[in-house]
Every structure is written in C-alpha cells, then in structure tokens.
Amino acid sequence: MTPGPARSDFEDVELHDAVETPAITLTAAHVGIYHGLTRELDADPVAVPDLLPLCVAVGLGWRTPRPPLAVLALLGLDWQPLRPLRAGDTVRSRSRIVARRPLRDGGVIVEEREVLDQRGEVVQRG
C-alpha cells in the first residue's frame, strides 16, 4: 500500500501558528475555468468572482512547507470579500491559528485566513 500524503494533526498545531503561501497571478483563464465549472457567468470576463480567491487560497495551502491539516469536519466558514479583484492581480494567503480546543479524539482548530493582493492589501478574509 502506498502511504498517503503528509498531513498535520491536531497535536502538530500550536496556537498562533502562522503560514503564508506563495503568490499566484490570477488570469482570464482562471476566471474562464471557474465560470465554466460553476455556470456563474459575468458580463466582465476579467472580473474575478468573489469565491475564486478562496478556492485559490485553499489550493495554495498545499504549496507551503507545513503539510495540510487533517480535517474530519468543517464546522463553519465566515468569508468576507472586501475588495474586487481582476485578472492580472496577484494574490497570496496568510493564515493564523486563533483557537485550539482538544477533544477526546482530536480537537477543534479555528483559523483566520486573509487573501492579500500584490500591494499587500487584504482583499478577502474569514
């Protein structure tokens, strides 16, 4: 049997741990693929849909030195788009552990995440 991908468990995570991902430039192709998958069409072909940066931020999390957190259940998501993005903008994600509560078979971790643009301005958070 082939071992699965590396992962971080509850015991590996400390309060206030922070991770920043590498950056990626959002292109018209990213927007087009998103529209093709969701059928959520926009009259402006270079306007980045509000949900796309969150999707990209999650994907960029796989490109950090720390393995992704093993998640058994997602208890909630409160995501706020703060400023519109356009194709050509470069984004990266910054996250921080703000709460950690042990349970019998693992624990609950609360993470705050921000998406920053090429100027370092927070454009989305949750």
Q: Which CATH class is domain 10-125?
A: alpha beta
Q: Supply 52's token pair.
A: 């796309």
Amino acid 61: pLDDT: 87
pTM assigned to the model? 0.86
Question: 85, 26 in Cβ contact below 8 A?
Answer: yes
Using CB atoms within 10 A of its CB, is residue 48 exposed (0-12), middle (13-18) or buried (19+)?
Answer: buried
Beta carbons within 10 angstroms of residue 26's beta carbon = 21
* Model confidence pLDDT, tens digit, residues 31-56: 999 999 999 887 788 899 999 999 99
Beta carbons within 10 angstroms of residue 3's beta carbon = 5
pLDDT along the chain (126 residues), means of 10: 71 93 97 92 88 94 84 90 98 96 91 97 98
Structural domain boundaries in the chain: 10-125
